[in-house]
């Protein structure tokens, strides 16, 4: 297994563990849905999210 593949798998596993901890222990880690709802409450954050998605699309999904 190559190193980048291992790193991607590690990030995915860490994300799943964080999601499970948020569901099982909301006092320890905020649930993902609550975090997103809190972030999307402000207009500036929504605008920043659109800009980040645009930047990713422009740099990674073109050509």
Banded pLDDT at 1 (limits 50, 70, 90) = low
pLDDT at 63: 60
pLDDT tens profile 6-62: 999 999 999 999 989 989 998 888 888 888 888 889 999 999 999 998 998 888 877
Question: Nearest 5°: CA angle at 53, between 13 and 18?
Answer: 20
Q: How far from each other are the two terminal CA atoms of the chain, in whole angstroms?
A: 28
The 3 state secondary structure assigned to the chain is: CCHHHHHHHHHHHHHHHHHHHHHHCCCCCCCHHHHHHHHCCCHHHHHHHHHHHHHHHHHHCCC
């Amino acid at each position: 297994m190559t190193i980048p593949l291992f790193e991607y798998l590690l990030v995915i596993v860490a994300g799943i563990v964080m999601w499970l901890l948020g569901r099982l222990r909301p006092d320890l880690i905020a649930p993902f849905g609550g975090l997103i709802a809190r972030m999307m409450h402000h207009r500036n954050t929504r605008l920043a999210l659109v800009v980040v998605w645009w930047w990713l699309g422009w740099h990674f999904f073109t050509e």
